[in-house]
Structure 1
C-alpha cells in the first residue's frame, strides 16, 4: 500500500493502528522481513472510515 502511494493515515485506518507504526514498517524499523504484496492482493485504495466516523455517520441517518 505504501509503494502504491496510499497515505499513512489511510493505511493505519485500514489496519487499525497508528500512523507511527506504518512509518516504522516503511522505514524497516519493524517487520523488516515482510515483503510487499502483489498489487492484486491489496485492498482498494482508501480513505477508509474509522470506527468513530462510521458511528457518526450512522447517527446522522
Structure 2
C-alpha cells in the first residue's frame, strides 16, 4: 500500500466520470497504481461502520 497524494481537481478532469468531477472537489492519486480516489458512497459506508464499531 502507498500513501495517497492529493491532486488538484483540474488535473483529474479526464480521469474520472463527469458526474464525479462535478460533485467532488478533493481527489487523491495512488502513486503505485495511478488510480484516482475521492470520498464517495463507499467512503461514507466505511465511516458509518467505523462509527458503529467505536460505539460498542
TM-score, reference length from structure 1: 0.28
Structure 1 or 2: larger strand share? Answer: 2
